[in-house]
Structure 1
Amino acid sequence: MRTAAFLYPWDVVGDPAAPARLADLGIRQVTLAAAYHSTRALTPRHPRHRVVTAAHAAVLYPPGAHWQGRTLRPYAAGDWAPGDAHAEAARALRDAGLDVHTWVVLAHNSRLGADHPRTSVVNAYGDRYPWAPCIAQPATRAYLVDLAAEAAVRPGAHGTELESCGWYGLAHLHAHDKIAGVPLGEAGQYLMSLCFCASCARGYAEQGLDPQELTETVRRSLEPLWRGGARDDGWETVEKLLGADRAAATRAWRERTARTLQEAVVAAVRAAAPTGFQVLLHADPVPYHGGADAGVDPAHILSVADGVVVPCTGGPGLLTPFAERAGDGTVLAANLTVVRGMGGDPAGLAADAARAADHGATQLRLYHAGLASDDDLAHVREALSHVE
């Protein structure tokens, strides 16, 4: 089973021992970040640093000259990834015999929302989510499509994995987060993630909804949750709160918007890439879900992309809807966290891999080789020696 590990360029640049150490794990591929959101990351083995702070979302290579003059354009990285850090890391990894694919984060960018607030998702209360670009807005969609084509097809890359290629909503690991005081459940998350910007208001109207009436209905529906009342869960609760027809109309607008963005992004990447370039999406098989693993219709997305990367740390169940629709050559990559400090179980990797294979996984993704301790990586090395 082909296995890849996620990595940041700063895990490799400045550490000559990193490529050989990674190859020694038994992996065949590194999925190397090329466009990434802000983060604070541990580097437990790097000879020069232990913590890297990426202050804002950025491309980890010099952005192309074609962005000049455009209002929405990618931000260059600061000292956490100077110059063409992606290319430097990729060369070192390839020299160690590892295949390199790009890791591209799209609709998740707090810097974009801070500099251009009107690009952000706006909830029913008028609050903006700066980390979540509204993917219905034409200028934002054009920016994301062009970013995907550039960041995915870096020199020497054989494929890409696209994260956040869909709606982002309320759920977000934010600095000193304080929003967990009221449990919202799945229905509350959906309602708090509905966007009411001008583009989405027009979209709801196209579905036969009055945007102002919808706003008021969403607010009324959320009131019991703010008081700590009983919560659901699932789509049936959304239907009860909004009414089945109104709920279906909001979902139709959002799912059509996400599907067409995904189609445009994949088409742009393929147009820029050489023959045989692999395109995967980080995906959740429930179409109305949002976040880094974008909600998709499994049959649709497998007709567009070469496959999906599916979160499986909590179990392999999300693989099944994709496996039921997979064809010959479809990539179903089970994404498993192997960092104990982040909720992973590196000691159980072999068993988790076997369960994922039983649910249709054809490949493994390990999150995250740069963040893991030496002990975690020792468990990974031992497990992969038994994975066929």
Structure 2
Amino acid sequence: MRASAFLYPWDVNGDPGAGDRMAALGVRDATLASAYHSTRALTPRHPRHRIVTARHAAVLYPTDARWTGRALRPYPAGDWAPGDAFGEAAEALAAAGLEVHTWVVLAHNSRLGEEHPGTSVVNAYGDRYPWAPCIAQPGTRAYLVDLAAEAAVRPGAHGTELESLGWYGLAHLHAHDKTGGVGLGDAGQYLMSLCFCASCRAGYGAQGLDAGELAAAVRAALEPVWRGAPSGGGWAGVERLLGETEAAATRAWRDETARTLQEAAVAAVRAAAPDGFRVLLHADPVSYHCGANAGVDPAHILSVADGVVVPCTGGTGLLRPFAGQGRERSVLAANFTVVSAMGGSPGTLERDAREAAESGATELRLYHAGLASDEDLAAVRGALAAL
């Protein structure tokens, strides 16, 4: 199976051996970040540093004139990825024989929410989520579509993987998170991720809901959960808490909003890209789910994009709803964490990859070659050789 390893530019730049080391893993491709959220990252093999602190969401290349005069625009990186950090790393990886694809994080940007608070998701209690731009707002949608096109189609890239191209909600892994004291479950997470900004209030109205009454219903439904009652699992849990009619109306609004954004972003990337450029989405087959792996309808998204990247570290079950839904050449990439200290299991990668293939996977993604220990990478190398 064709495999690609995720990397940041700072894993490569300043390390003359990085490209050859990645190629020696047995991967054919490198999925290299070109637009990324804030993070603090380990670089265990770099000759000049061990910790990189990316203080805010940024693009890792120089932007062009399309952003002139616009309030919402991407932020340049600081000293963690100066200049055309993506381009420098891409050249080094290509010189080692790897095919480079861009990795673009979209609707996940805390600095945008801090500096433009009106762009953020607002929950039923009036709390803003600065890390989560509301994808229903026209200005935010225009920003995300243009960012997708610019960050995806970088010189030397053969394709792209678009992350967070959909709703982001409560779950975030924010700095020093203290939100796990109450088990919200799947249904509670959904209710706490519903947005009540002006655009979403109007959207609920178009679905026949009064936004004020809906917010009150969400708060009432969550009250027993705050006291420790289980929220229930799956969509049935949402319906139980909120009511079938109200739940269906919120999902109709949110599903349509995400679908149309995904269509627009993919179309913008295709318009800017050369022939043969592959466009994949990091995706979850449950359309109401929020986060980096955007909730999608499998048949729809595979009619729009060239494929999907699906989280499989906890098992390969999320692959099956995508299998058989796409075109003959649709990519179904199984994404495995290969960093032991982050919950990955590189020692079982060979077995896991074979199970993924049985569930319909056509390719592998390995998260994350820059973060993994030497021992983890040795296990990856052995697994890929066996495959």
Q: TM-score higher than 0.5 here?
A: yes
* 2: CA distance, partners of 1:303 / 1:380: 32
Contact 2:184 2:231 in 1 (8 A): yes
Matched residue of 1:174: which SS?
coil
Partner of 2:240: 240
Unpaired runs of 5+ in structure 1?
none
For 1:230 and 1:66, how far apart are their aligned partners in 2? Answer: 48
Who is 2:267 aligned against? 267
Once the 2 structures are TM-superposed, how far is the Cα of residue 237 of structure 1 from its aligned partner? 1.5
Conservation of the 8 A alpha-carbon contact between 2:185 and 2:230: no
CA deviation string 1:67-108 (max 9, x = no partner) = 121000000000000010000000000001000000000000
Paired letter, 1:303? S
Mean CA deviation greater in 234-243 or 26-35: 234-243
SS of the aligned residue for 2:322 comes to helix
Q: CA deviation at 1:250?
A: 0.2
Q: What secondary structure does 2:352 align onto?
A: helix
1:105 corresponds to 2:105: yes
Partner of 1:322, secondary structure, is coil
**Whole-angstrom CA distance in 1 between matches of 2:12 and 2:242:** 50
Looking at structure 2, the residues matched to 302 and 118 of structure 1 have their Cα atoms a distance apart, in angstroms, of 32
Q: Which residue of 2 aligns with 1:168?
A: 168
Q: How does 1:150-169 map to 2 (within 5 A)?
A: 150-169=150-169
Aligned twin of 2:209: 209
Equivalent residue, structure 2, for 1:332: 332
1:122 maps to: 122
Q: Which runs of 4+ in 1 moved over 4 A?
A: none
Alignment deviations for residues 153-208 of structure 1 (CA, whole Å, 9 cap, x no partner): 00010000000000000000111100000000000000000000000000000000
1:250-300 alpha-carbon deviations (Å, 9 max, x no partner): 000000000000000000000000011000000000000010000000000
Distance in structure 1 (CA, Å) of the matches to 2:13 and 2:64: 22
Cα distance in 1 for residues equivalent to 2:41 and 2:352: 25
How far apart are 1:243 and its partner, in Å? 1.2
Q: Where do 1:74-93 residues align within 5 Å?
A: 74-93=74-93
Computed over aligned residues only, the root mean square deviation of the Cα atoms, in angstroms, reads 0.5
Give how far 1:65 is off. 2.3
SS at match of 1:385: helix
1:19 matched residue in structure 2: 19
SS in 2 for 1:3: strand
Please give the alpha-carbon distance, in whole angstroms, between the structure 2 residues aligned to 1:287 and 1:234: 11
Instruction: Return the offset for 1:234.
Output: 1.4
Aligned to 2:291: 291
Secondary structure of 1:274's partner?
A: coil
Instruction: Specify the code of the residue in structure 2 equivalent to 1:228.
Output: G
Listed one character per residue, the Cα deviations across residues 53-76 of structure 1 (whole Å, up to 9, x for unaligned) are 000000000111221210000000
The whole-number CA distance in structure 1 between the counterparts of 2:47 and 2:259 is 44
Question: How far apart, in 1, do the equivalents of 2:188 and 2:66 lie?
Answer: 41
Equivalent pairs: percent with the same residue? 76
> What TM-score does the superposition give when structure 2 sets the normalisation length?
0.99
SS state of the match for residue 103, structure 1? strand
Deviation (angstroms), 1:149: 0.3
Deviation at 1:326, TM superposition (A): 2.8
Question: TM-score under structure 1 normalisation?
Answer: 0.99
State the Cα distance separating 1:313 from its structure 2 match: 0.3
Map 1:20-35 → 2, pairs under 5 A: 20-35=20-35
Query: What is the Cα deviation at residue 229 of structure 1?
Result: 1.4
In the TM superposition, what is the alpha-carbon distance from 1:328 to its structure 2 partner? Answer: 0.8
Does structure 1 conserve the Cα–Cα contact (< 8 Å) formed by 2:112 and 2:130?
A: yes
Specify the alignment match of 1:63 in structure 2. 63
The separation in 1 between residues aligned to 2:198 and 2:333, in whole angstroms, is 37
What is aligned with 1:218?
A: 218
**AA of the residue aligned to 2:317:** G
| Letter of the 2:184 counterpart | L
Q: Equivalent residue for 2:189? A: 189
Unaligned runs of 5+ in 2: none
